[in-house]
Structure 1
Amino acid sequence: MITSELKDFTYTFGEIDKIDAIGFLSRVKQSPEQFKQGKVVLVTASTPLKASRGEGKTTTTIALIDALRRRGVDAAAVLRQPSMGITAAGSKGGASGGGKSTLSHPEIADWGLTGEMARIADAQNLLVAFCEKAVDDGILSDILIPRVSETPSRSLRSVRVDGGKLAERFVLTPASEMMQIVTLSRSVEEIAERVGNMIAGTAPETGAPVQVKDFVDVERIIRVIGNAVQPAYMESGEGSPVYIHCGPFGNVSLGIPGLTAVDMACALHDVVVVEAGYGADAGGQKWLDIASREFGAQWPAAAVVVTRATTWRDDPQLQWRYPFAVNRLEELGIASFPMINLWEGEDGEVPQLRQTAAELGFRNPIAGNLWRDGGEGLVAQLDEFIDVVNNADGSIRPDSNLSRDFMDTVTWICEKAYGVPSDRVIEKDGFAQILSEEKQRAEQVGIDFDSLAVLPVKSPATMTDNDAAPESERTVTLKKVEVHAGAGLVHVNVTTSLTTPMPKIV
């Protein structure tokens, strides 16, 4: 189903197609009137009760585009590449849908696709190898770029090399700065500039930060990244178009697919369904506050907020999280449709769930057992959704007048995304010192610290320090700050989370 507009930019890699999206977008830029201006629909979710159990966002995304195309809407999906360590290992689904709502060849997507994840890991690990040589050459005294691994391994949580003389650390490939750079960049030149801006380590005598471009031929890294810059084209089981690009996790990284893939899909289709990782407080928040506000991605015309029926109801202390997610999006002017992903035996609960949704002031929920019924189960429920998307005129834009002060932005995110006001945002002992050091490091390489986009690193299973606490007692603790100068981000660690390879496959 590759469209004729893409033929010159597509080649077959193994059993799937790869697309030179960057080259294609240069054609779009030259003659924009010849292409579509598709509208983005965001698929996000409630924060799950357990981080290891997905709510069904990818299954919903695939079912939704299949249903829309059955209704005559030119719809496509843009997904992230699954990670070998968590999703493809089978502990929370393969991130390629399931049942009748899946890709035509899910095993290809789940087990490496065309190797983008490995290419990105190789590129960052090669950088670390250059840094190790720079230590020997007296250019660096330490290394600030971590090695990466896609596969969880407890032994990688604490590593010393070179006979124990040099400490190194590992992060998961989906959490790496190289992954963020490829995800956000819209040209090879931009990738090269960003890689060069990464902070490699500190100088031996002065302790000043040293950037990659100061001692590395960045072109060598670009060659290793190779075709990871190119989205993969696949199809759903019903033949609907699906573009897959990049794979950052939503809690410890961006949680969004590559922006080149989204831009390309918007030039080719009327509706582009983008799945953001984990919940509305994670990948959903980052699509809005980073991809849209900071990097010019489309503001969603509508959103679909997925939940399992059990996640929504079963724990009275956590019931507040799903209404909070839906209402927050509605307050931003994004028409948000509750999507109840039914499991076997739950069909009879739909009337009660619809009544509860009405009492909460939600739009009429879309509900179905998408594993069993696929897009067919949604076709008759999409009238209001299609009307909203068709009538979205793009007049609503993200607020561009946010304060550029880092702490103001952090407390704003805590209030808007997690429901915790600024007076209950707590700084862990030592946080102020780490913040001061990272600000100084950014300034020393000529970067305005406050201009960096703020990326929260958090638990995938909780929005606050304790979601079960009463609303008036919920807090968020700020723990650590880390500049990703190449990606243009500053991480702030809140609640709990691991960016290192995990101690077990959850």
Structure 2
Amino acid sequence: MTTRTDLEIARAARKLPIQDIGATLGIPAEALLPYGHDKAKIGQGFIRQLGDRPDGKLILVTAINPTPAGEGKTTTTVGLGDALARIGKRTAICIREASLGPNFGMKGGAAGGGMAQVVPMEDMNLHFTGDFHAITAAHNLLAAMIDNHIYWGNTLEIDERRIVWRRVMDMNDRALRDTVVGLGGVSNGFPRQTGFDITVASEVMAILCLAEDLDDLQVRLGRIVVAYTRDKQPIHARDLKAEGAMAVLLRDAMQPNLVQSMEQTPAFVHGGPFANIAHGCNSVIATRTALKLAEYVVTEAGFGADLGAEKFFDIKCRKAGLSPSAAVVVATVRALKMNGNVDRADLGAENVAAVQRGCVNLGRHIENLRGFGVPVIVAINHFHSDSAAEVQAVQGYAASLGAEAVVCRHWALGSVGAEELAQKVVALAEGETARFAPLYPDEIGLFAKIETVARRIYRAGSVVADKVVLDQLAAWEAAGYGGLPVCMAKTPYSFSTDPTLRGAPEGHVVPVREVRLSAGAGFVVAICGEIMTMPGLPRHPAAETIGLDAEGQVEGLF
């Protein structure tokens, strides 16, 4: 077992030139736009030529509800991708890009870990190819055009009290959650209260990740609702003539990024929408491109399966016409113990009874995923402290539900540690048992969609909402938005809206306190509980230990 840091491991990886990585998927060198030697963007012209090719098998990697003990969803995604390539399948990995905020805050990076990482790790976790900066710029251009329009006479009659488009930056900064702009006199505009969100929470990010091509991107940008008039009529980005310039800023960002794993498996790393108020998946264009080029595509969705997988199926797959062949649920013995009410400090001690109690969380996710018509397998992401009896308890529980649970050691061993999982996934995917269908039809009402997710996925007893919420949903239905899917925003730590309620609670109440229209992205957000769209830094942020060594190399990333 290695004692090196993830960054040290990644830096020691043997990387192939990015043209060689592209060639393994049949991408010609002229279709790549290199960013150095080890990363590149894939040209839109080449992508357009792939339309008639058959799709490969799409494998979703999801997880039980996250705990401080860790689950390793991205690490398992990379490990499985490498293992599929190891057993001879032409494979591509599809994951999200990392946000600077969590990197310098508490969560860390998003490139996997140990011997199952995507590289170059430090580039991916920092500026990468500039996509997030482009999204930040496009978002804030629209914000500036709103205030500029008001300054020069406000011919659209925007009600300054009803401007819903805030500004964004890709950093955790609690001081910017609520701000006042326009101070300093007449030349600086009209003072008003607003605030900042983190870039991954921007609707522009969600739009880029759901758009089919540049034309679709610009149309979606134009549909963004930025404000309302005094008589509550919506003002769109297209009313400000902003969508063309925004699309220009996003032209290069719209092209998927190609990198590689430590074992030279091609990896598409593109986009990174918030997994709460957005759908938490990498871009549609990256996933579709990968499916045209590979036999197997392994992707992931943010948070646990109750949020990430549900949105992957009901939003991304529904809108993009994707049909997954299998789903992998990642669990750790440590996390299952926490779901069995063991304190974090006591996770190292063997506790089979706690594992058995915590398995109900795993079981709920297995049942939910099968409800989408997708076959399921469990990946036990192995920790050195796991006892044989604890592992057997998980495997026995999964078997009681008719599912296999495979022990995976990809963090320590790389692809060889996930080879059994890869074999089992191939057997599932090629058994043609998948009969994928979204949870609800487009035609039912918006509140009925919210209730369907709450009752069938969260096992809620009821959903409650004030009249103002119900009236807003009815108004959107009347305006033609009733066919949109819903994007549930709640705590990721529980099936309920109470983050302390672990396991598999039933009969709880889901309160919908607010709804938001993401008209450009194409979904309605139902906010259940307190949702933070601009995180703060912890008492001791990771930034305190990140720096450059004597040779000018990055150190301290994790």
Normalising by the residue count of structure 1, what TM-score does the alignment of the two structures yield? 0.90
Judge which range, 39-48 or 370-379, deviates more: 370-379
Partners of 2:77 and 2:114 in 1: CA distance: 13
The separation in 2 between residues aligned to 1:438 and 1:364, in whole angstroms, is 42
1:299 is displaced (CA, Å) by: 2.2
1:185–1:260 CA contact under 8 A, matched in 2: yes
What per-residue deviation string (whole Å, max 9, x for no partner) do you get for residues 281-319 of structure 1? 1111101111112x1342210111111211113332664
| Correspondent of 1:197 among 223, 228, 235 | 223
Q: Pick from 90, 103, 107: which aligns with 1:74?
A: 90
After TM superposition, the structure 1 stretch with the greater mean CA deviation from structure 2, 144-153 or 376-385, is 376-385
Corresponding residue of 1:106: 121
Question: Which residue of structure 2 aligns with residue 307 of structure 1?
Answer: 331
How far 1:377 moved relative to its partner?
0.9
2:148 aligned partner: 133
Contact preservation (8 Å) 1:350, 1:367: no
Match of 2:416 among 376, 389, 392: 376
CA distance in 2, matches of 1:303, 1:316: 24
- Name 2:553's counterpart in structure 1: none
Asked if 2 retains the 8 angstrom alpha-carbon contact of 1:464 and 1:495, the reply is no
Residue type matched to 1:263 in 2? R
Q: Which segments of 5 or more consecutive residues in structure 2 lack a partner in the other structure?
A: 1-20, 184-189, 342-357, 543-558
Counterpart of 1:85 in structure 2 is 101
1:442, distance to aligned residue in structure 2 (A)? 7.4
Report how far residue 441 of structure 1 moved: 6.3
Aligned counterpart for 1:60 among listed residues 76, 83, 98: 76
Give the CA deviation at 1:103: 1.6
Structure 1 residues 149-205: Cα deviation after superposition (integer angstroms, max 9, x where no partner): 2211111111111128211122221111000110000111111111111112123x5
Among residues 347, 361, 365, which one is paired with 2:401 in the alignment? 361
Say which SS state the counterpart of residue 252 (structure 2) adopts. helix
1:448 pairs with one of 470, 473, 480? 480
Q: CA deviation at 1:54?
A: 4.4
Query: Alpha-carbon deviation of 1:362?
Result: 4.3
Q: Which residue of 2 aligns with 1:418?
A: 458
RMSD, aligned α-carbons? 2.3
Among 379, 389, 408, the residue aligned to 1:339? 379
Selected match of 2:251 from 223, 226, 235: 226
Does residue 292 of the first structure (1) align with residue 317 of the second (2)?
A: yes
Aligned partner of 2:211 in structure 1 is 185
Cα displacement string for residues 380-414 of structure 1 (whole angstroms, at most 9, x for unaligned residues): 44433211112327654446745420111000011
State the secondary structure of the residue aligned to 2:258: strand
Q: Deviations over 1:85-108 (max 9, x none)?
A: 11x226234110111101231111
Deviation at 1:141, TM superposition (A): 2.5
Which residue identity is paired with 2:405? P
Structure 1 unmatched ranges of 5 or more: none
Secondary structure at 2:482 match in 1: helix
Give deviations 1:416-470, integer Å, cap 9, x for gaps: 221214xx2122xxx3214424653675xxx412122211111122221333598
Whole-Å Cα distance in 2 between the matches of residues 442 and 327 of structure 1? 31
Provide the C-alpha distance between the structure 2 equivalents of 1:442 and 1:74, rounded to a whole number of angstroms.
Answer: 44
CA contact under 8 A between 1:250 and 1:278: conserved in structure 2? yes
Could you tell me how far apart the structure 2 residues matched to 1:264 and 1:359 are?
Answer: 36
Q: CA deviation at 1:372?
A: 1.0
Asked if residue 488 in structure 1 is aligned to residue 488 in structure 2, the reply is no
Cα distance 1:383–1:470, how it changes in 2: closer, same or farther (>3 A)?
closer
Counterpart Cα distance in 2 of 1:487 and 1:99:
35
In the alignment, does 2:446 pair up with 1:406?
A: yes
Following superposition, the deviation at residue 477 of structure 1 comes to 1.2
Given the superposition, is the C-alpha separation of residues 460 and 119 from structure 1 closer, same or farther in structure 2, using an over 3 Å criterion? same
Q: Distance between the aligned counterparts of 1:348 and 1:469, measured in 2?
A: 22
Residues 325/130 of structure 1: CA separation in 2 closer, same or farther (3 Å cut): same
Bigger shift: residues 242-251 or 325-334: 325-334
- Residues 302 and 334 of structure 1 are in contact (CA less than 8 Å); yes or no, is this contact kept in structure 2? yes
* Contact 1:24 1:264 survives alignment (8 Å): no
Once residues 325 and 369 of structure 1 are traced to their aligned partners in structure 2, the CA distance between those partners, rounded to angstroms, is 22
- Deviation sequence 1:198-221 (CA, Å, 0-9, x none): 112123x54422111112242211
- Segment of structure 1 superposing worse, 309-318 or 213-222: 309-318
1:27 alignment counterpart = 49
8 Å CA contact retained: 1:170, 1:501: no
- The answer to whether residue 262 in structure 2 is matched with residue 237 in structure 1 is yes
1:279 correspondence with 2:304:
yes
Pair 1:472–1:225, CA change in 2 (3 A):
closer
Gap change, CA 1:314 and 1:39, over 3 Å in 2: same
| Number of the residue aligned with 2:289 | 264
Determine if contact 2:307/2:492 at 8 Å carries over to the other structure.
yes
Cα deviation for residue 225 of structure 1 reads 1.7
Picking from 419, 431, 434, the partner of 1:391 is 431
Q: What letter matches 2:46 in structure 1?
A: F
What CA distance in whole angstroms lies between the structure 1 residues aligned with 2:490 and 2:147?
30
The partner residue of 2:279 within 231, 248, 254 is 254
